[in-house]
Structure 1
Amino acid sequence: MDLLEDYLADVRAHGAVFCQSVAEPPWAVRFADPAPLALGATLRGECWIVRAGTAPVRVRERGIVLVRGLRPFTVADRPDTEAQVVVQSADDCWTTGDGPVARGDDLLLGPRTYGFGPDGSDLFVTAEYPLRSDVSGRLLRALPEVAVIPPEPEFAPLLDLLAVEVGREEPGQQVVLDRLLDLLLVRALRAWFGRPDVEAPPGYRAPADPRIARALRLMHARPDHPWTVASLGEEAGMSRAVFARRFASLVGQPPLVYLTEWRMTIASDLLREPGSTVAAVARRVGYADGFAFSNAFKRVRGVPPSDLIGSRR
């Protein structure tokens, strides 16, 4: 049972936006409209992540940072350096200050590479990662706004390859970059949630107990089954009471609370699919009728399921 695999099952980079910044201190780049998740890596030098309402966070050389949420943030050589470049999107960036404004191609040094000169001492790579499903959203919500993963030997081969590939234009280049991003994201998440001082998503560490892992696997694989604490305990080879205590201890929630939240997470994605109906989704997540499902969905999500029909994240 691998919850990280479940959370990332539908998360694949496709045409991910990369931006390689070359700069000499003092420097600062502001990302004005970031994606739900941005991954950054300092390939040379170090940097700070600055965001309104949170303390600045330092990223050491060869470290990785995950920035969650849609609020603007700044990457800089020091926390107090004013932004010299604003990035609105992959095709829209400009300089700030009193001098003439340089835009887009004026700052382009090479493929996906921006800066004021090719010989800057600092090199920072960012990639935006769209996360559109509610299943992956469970993982996203478990992250802080800024998560810094210190340099680790296992990151080195990926970062070396990224440094080479991000500035190239070869056949299949975007596919190579997208897959590199997938690998870095999984490695970074695994390193972050592996820390003992970090609160992982519900159930993330439960696979350490094979019996609880079996119950989780069954809930994830068959959310439409009429599970009870007793039936799940039986599948896990434990008494009802022992299973309930062990499950809550490892997962952080009682079994049926976890099951209901998982069902509503899946339902949120299903409701957004073209042609979906409340009744059809209700059956796929274990409810005999749309009325009972609607009540449960509104209790957990705060809105009726009909509000999600035809919507997009």
Structure 2
Amino acid sequence: MDALAGLLEGPRARGAFMIRACFDPPWAVRVEDGAPLTVMLMVRGDAWIVPDTGERLRLRAGDLAVARGPDPYVCADDPATAPQAVILPGGACSYPDGRPLNGSMDLGVRTWGDRADGEAVLLIGTYLVRGEIGGRLLDALPPLLSLTSEAWDNPLTPLLMNEVTRDEPGQEVVLDRLLDLLVIAALRAWFARPSAAAPAWYRALGDPVVGRALRLLQDDPAHPWTVATLAERTGVSRAALARRFTDLVGEPPMGYLTGWRLALAADRLRDSEDTLGAIARRVGYGSAFALSTAFKRVYGVSPQEYRVPTPSPSAAPAQAPAQTPAPA
């Protein structure tokens, strides 16, 4: 497994919230949905993304932004424009004073805003559940990042524009996979930049010793690794490996291995019907009990609670704008 594949294998949307947003200035929407990751692709016109804290960001046609939740932000034609709508968890939408919009901005299938042929058009895709995005990927990203149209070649825009407003059988799955592809393509380009603020372990993969140790751990997490066996496989002393690994990655080899095993276990819990015992063996734990103990210590919940999270009343979709055709 190469480093980028290991980082990007996480995105797996399931019923992601995707719309085409169309506006005429002045316009502004405040986003308070708490979503773990949202992608905004500017198709036509300009927009500003203004987080509550941090630097604001301007998007022009062809540019893309990725917002890592749960912090709120405003998307607007101008930073000074007051929000006219608020996006809440589950795609619910209200006026700033809390009154529900009741579909007044629906423009058709997955189309929402002022006018279907508005001056500003954005494609917005939102992962609704953190488990759909690997924790290692989220931890590697800043709260807000962008790619200009000059920085990456995106062949997906025409396909997304064509598919987002279709209402065919299986369309939700098609859009989920397209969103995954868009995220992977964008982040691959973002991490490839010379100035990319990649995580320490990602940069460490370029080191001839630590990089080999990382690949060994990533490729075979179930192996009974020790610092001694890693040192033997990388051709250095145990002390030298431990020191070099910690300096470059920011944690000791066995600490990294524990995090990697638990991250893999978390993905398997959400993405498969495997028993806890089978998952434990797959990621390198001797028993379901050992995995459960380590998992709860790090994640704060048991594996079973992580696999079937208790739904939050506030996260239930009260109104999902533009997911169905507008009434005639």
TM-score relative to the length of structure 2: 0.77
Q: Deviations over 1:43-79 (max 9, x none)?
A: 1112111222333222232111111122332211111
| C-alpha distance 135-50 of structure 1, shift in aligned 2 (>3 A) | closer
Equivalent residue, structure 2, for 1:103:
102
> Corresponding residue for 1:255?
253
* Structure 1 partner of 2:317: none
* 1:22 equivalent in alignment to 2:22: yes
Q: Where does structure 1 lack aligned partners over 5 or more consecutive residues? A: none
| Alignment partners' CA distance in 1, 2:292 and 2:100 | 53
Higher RCO, 1 vs 2 (CA within 8 Å, ≥6 residues apart): 2
1:234 counterpart letter in structure 2: E
SS at match of 1:118: coil
Deviations 1:113-132 (A, max 9, x none): 11222332111121111454
Q: Which amino acid aligns with 1:5?
A: A
Say which SS state the counterpart of residue 203 (structure 1) adopts: helix
Task: Percent identity, please.
Answer: 45
State the distance in 1 between where 2:101 and 2:228 align: 66
Counterparts in 2 of 1:73-112, with a 5 A limit? 73-88=73-88, 92-96=92-96, 102-104=101-103, 106-112=104-110
| Structure 2, unpaired ranges of 5+ | 310-328
Instruction: Deviation per CA, 1:20-44: give whole Å up to 9, x if none.
Output: 1111111011223142111111111
Partner SS state of residue 58, structure 1? strand
300, 304, 310: which one aligns with 2:305: 310
Q: Is the Cα contact below 8 Å between 1:139 and 1:201 reproduced in 2?
A: no
CA distance in 2, matches of 1:265, 1:219: 13
Cα distance change on mapping 1:154 and 1:147 into 2, 3 Å: closer
Query: Aligned pair in 2 of structure 1 residues 276, 157: CA closer, same or farther (>3 Å)?
Result: closer
**Alpha-carbon separation, structure 1, partners of 2:173 and 2:197:** 33
Match of 1:142 among 114, 134, 140: 140
What's the offset of the Cα at 1:268?
Answer: 4.7
Q: Which amino acid aligns with 1:120?
A: G
Q: Distance in 1 between matches of 2:246 and 2:150?
A: 33
CA-to-partner distance for each residue in 1:205-251, whole Å, 9 max, x for gaps?
A: 34445664443232123323222223213323445455445544654
Which amino acid is the alignment partner of residue 15 of structure 2?
Answer: G
Assess if the C-alpha contact under 8 Å between 1:134 and 1:266 holds in 2: no
**Aligned-partner residue type, residue 60 of structure 1:** R
**TM-score of the aligned structures, taking structure 1 as reference length:** 0.80
Contact 1:40–1:127 (CA<8 Å) still a contact in 2? yes
Q: 1:91 to 1:270 in 2, by over 3 A?
A: closer
Relative to 1, partners in 2 of residues 1:285 and 1:86: Cα closer, same or farther, differing over 3 Å?
Answer: same
